[in-house]
Amino acid sequence: MNVTVWSNMAADRWLSISCSVLIGVLLLAGCLPIPVVPHGLGVVPDKEAFESLRPGVTTRADVLLLLGEPNHRFDDDRFLMYEWTVAYGYVIVGGYTQAYPIPVAAPHYLCLEFGLDSRLVRNEHLIGSLYAKPDKAIRRCTKQSEELDESGEK
């Protein structure tokens, strides 16, 4: 009876230790991302400012006065795009003496379209997939509002 209890306890302990070691090895080897509260990296546009933008009211000048220079300008400034990065986790890489946290991050875009009267027609917050390049977001952003209406994407 005692032997059975001991063997069960030993098995549990063995399993716990194995799991711990495996998780530890994966974390240290950079195979498991450590999740964190999503936060911006680098320069992030002022959230309050971009939430205050109103289609039909806000002008291109208002946007520039509030947010500064955009990262991308298209079609004679009909489209302006602000870009920033949000980290969702970190992967620890390194050797015995040094370790570096590498962010698991995705690009975010604020896409703004203006009409002929310089007023805001459309503002969209686009989120790219992890480590995505801006090409897809740029294609989506520079689709004019009418095209999005027609294709039902809006």
Partner 1 sequence: MKTIQINTLERLYVTIQLILSMIIITGCLGGCVTAQKVDPSTVSKYEGFIHDGETTKQEIQDRLGPAQSIYENGGILVYYVYLQDDGRMNLKGPGTCHACVLVFDKDNVLERHSLVKHGCR
Residue ranges binding partner 1 (CB under 8 A) = 13, 16-17, 19-20, 23-24, 27, 34-37, 39-47, 49, 60-61, 64-71, 77, 84, 87, 90, 92, 101, 118
Rounded distance between C-alpha atoms, residue 92 and residue 95, angstroms: 10
Residue 151 in contact with residue 89, Cβ under 8 Å?
Answer: no
Min dist. Cβ of residue 27 to partner 1 (A): 7
Min dist. Cβ of residue 86 to partner 1 (A): 9
Residue 59 in contact with residue 118, Cβ under 8 Å?
Answer: yes
Residue type, 76: D
Closer to partner 1 by CB, 68 or 154: give it. 68
Give the other-Cβ count within 10 Å of 85's Cβ: 17
Min dist. Cβ of residue 40 to partner 1 (A): 4
Closer to partner 1 by CB, 13 or 154: give it. 13
Closer to partner 1 by CB, 34 or 127: give it. 34
Closer to partner 1 by CB, 36 or 132: give it. 36
Give the other-Cβ count within 10 Å of 37's Cβ: 7
Rounded distance between C-alpha atoms, residue 21 and residue 107, angstroms: 34
